[in-house]
Amino acid sequence: MIQLTKEQQRQIAESGWPPRATNPATQEIFVLMHEEMFDRVRVLLEAEDEIAAIEQMNVLVAEVVQREESVPQDGT
Question: What residues make up the domain containing 15?
Answer: 1-32
Are residues 25 and 6 located together in one domain of the fold? yes
Say what the pLDDT of residue 16 is. Answer: 86
Task: Let me know the angle formed at the C-alpha of 61 by 47 and 50, rounded to the nearest 5 degrees.
Answer: 10
- 31 burial level (CB within 10 Å; 0-12, 13-18, 19+): exposed
Are residues 20 and 52 located together in one domain of the fold? no
Are residues 75 and 45 located together in one domain of the fold? yes
Are residues 45 and 72 located together in one domain of the fold? yes
Number of structural domains found in the chain: 2
25 alpha-carbon distance from chain centroid: 13
pLDDT (tens digit, 9 = 90+) per residue, 4-19? 999 999 998 898 888 9
Strand partners, 22: 29
Please name the helix (run of DSSP H) or strand (run of DSSP E) that holds residue 30, with its range, or none: strand 29-31
Are residues 27 and 44 located together in one domain of the fold? no
Would the pTM of this model clear 0.85, i.e. be above it?
no
